[in-house]
Amino acid sequence: MAFEGLSERLQSTIQKIKGKGKINEQDVKEMMREVRFALIEADVNLKVVKQFVKIVSERAVGQDVMKSLTPGQQVIKIVQDELTNLMGGEQSVVKFSQKPPTVIMMVGLQGAGKTTTTGKLANLLRKKYNKNPLLVAADVYRPAAVKQLETLGKQLSIPVFQKGTDVSPVEIAREAIAHAREEHLDVVIIDTAGRLHIDETLMQELKDIRALKEPDEVFLVVDAMTGQDAVNVAESFDDAVGITGVVLTKLDGDTRGGAALSIRTVTQKPIKFIGMGEKLDALEPFHPERMASRILG
Ligand code: GDP
């Protein structure tokens, strides 16, 4: 049982309720106070914390204690299991199309790490799934974004489709998909425009690209360091465009990653990958049980 990583506070609460055969309401209440602190410290959305504590409390009260555990450990185990369940679910990281090319749209706010993640994802799909991706520069508002993607493509030796900044993103996406078909490139990853704030024009443009050919995946890239804000961003993008999964970036930083739990609970959309650094191989599939331990601190 991996309890070593837990904070001192949780460890000491575990110690408090030793030697009982059944867990009563008072034990659970005390422990849940600490769990609540841990989650809030990890920047989990308050509504999510409340909901979570309620579910776990109901499950924990009256449980017989497993022989191998103390009652405190058992409550923590329930907390960890429930966190893992909530963040888990679907196993496949990418849904590939039966009729290539698979189309993946990358959406997100500026600075979240969208363009970098586009490159990282192409790299991962090539390495792990033997795919031949095409990167598409559809952020025409920031000339630097097109250049950035081209540089990434060069570093990775992965082709980049671009039409400069004078052609509409929808047209670029349309031509890119046709190009991929001709060249037998089986995954098209579209780097769409990011904005500093969520606005109507951005959402409309994403909807237009989406309407062109139903993408197999729409991945929202969010900065895990933005904590509470990440939930609002995820909700807005999901409501307006519809997302199929989330990539949480910058988890190599010191954030506890509460955003993973909040986003999953609020949008019901799975976290698919996590960004663990600036390097192009620093993208990993999401592991809910690891994130659960990290969130508990
Ligand atoms: P975009 O505006 O969303 O396209 O963001 P960029 O891809 O340009 O990334 C913004 C900054 O975040 C860059 O300096 C990236 O190197 C950095 N970045 C992206 N992902 C990660 C990550 O997982 N960890 C860290 N430490 N930095 C990242």
> What pLDDT shows up at residue 211?
92
Find out whether 192 is annotated in a ligand binding site. yes
> Which amino acid belongs to residue 209?
I
- Confidence check: pLDDT of 1 > 60: no
The CB of 111 under 6 Å from ligand 1? The reply is yes
Pocket test of ligand 1: the residue of 116, 124, 237, 272 to mutate, having most ligand atoms within 8 Å of its CB, is 116
Q: Are 233 and 260 in contact (CB under 8 A)?
A: no
pTM metric for this prediction: 0.91
> What pLDDT shows up at residue 96?
96
Q: What is the ipTM of this complex?
A: 0.99
Summarised one tens digit per residue, pLDDT across range 171-217 is: 999 999 999 999 999 999 999 998 888 888 899 999 999 998 899 99
Summarised one tens digit per residue, pLDDT across range 59-88 is: 888 888 887 787 788 888 899 999 998 898
Enumerate residues 6+ apart whose C-beta is below 8 A from 282: 120, 252, 275, 276
> What pLDDT shows up at residue 89?
60
β-sheet bridge partners, residue 47: none
Phi, psi angle pair for 241, to nearest 5°: -110, -30
Phi, psi angle pair for 66, to nearest 5°: -65, 145
99 C-beta neighbours (distance < 10 Å), count: 7
Distances 33 to 42, 95, 120, 160, 257 between C-alpha atoms, Å: 14, 40, 40, 51, 20
SS3 state at 225: helix
Find out whether 89 is annotated in a ligand binding site. no
Pocket test of ligand 1: the residue of 278, 279, 281, 283 to mutate, having most ligand atoms within 8 Å of its CB, is 278
Min mean pLDDT across 66-80, 95-109, 272-286 is at 66-80
The CB of 116 under 6 Å from ligand 1? The reply is yes
CA distance 32 to 135: 47
- SS3 track for 106-172: EECCCCCCHHHHHHHHHHHHHHHHCCCEEEEEECCCCHHHHHHHHHHHHHHCCCEECECECCCHHHH
Phi, psi angle pair for 180, to nearest 5°: -60, -40
Q: Closest ligand 1 atom, CA of 249?
A: 23
CA distance 188 to 179: 10
Residue 279 alpha carbon to ligand 1 centre in Å:
10
Residue 292 alpha carbon to ligand 1 centre in Å:
24
* Locus of tokens 């769409």: 192
Phi, psi angle pair for 186, to nearest 5°: -95, -5
